[in-house]
């Protein structure tokens, strides 16, 4: 998947599992180029980007 911030395609999936939570449906991804951490979520039937950690500034 393309990074929503820089458009880079080097995304790293982050495996998050704890009791009662799994990110298998909407995995958290980190961009290898800019460092943005995001996941996708459904809001009223539309897919939106959920920014977890902002991209590194240059």
Range of the domain at 31: 11-53
Instruction: Tell me if 29 is assigned to some domain.
Output: yes
**What per-residue confidence (pLDDT) applies to 41?**
86
Tell whether 1 is covered by a domain: no
Q: How many domains does the chain have?
A: 1
Lookup result for tokens 């959920």: 50
CA 11 remoteness from chain centre: 8
Give the separation between CA 55 and CA 4, rounded to whole angstroms: 10
Quick one: pLDDT at residue 33? 87
pLDDT lower than 70: segments of the chain: 11, 13-25, 57-58
Query: How much is the pLDDT for 48?
Result: 92
């Amino acid at each position: 998947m393309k990074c929503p911030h820089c458009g880079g395609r080097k995304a790293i999936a982050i495996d998050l599992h704890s009791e009662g939570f799994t990110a298998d449906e909407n995995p958290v991804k980190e961009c290898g180029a800019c460092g943005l951490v995001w996941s996708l979520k459904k809001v009223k039937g539309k897919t939106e980007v959920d920014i977890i950690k902002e991209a590194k500034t240059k």
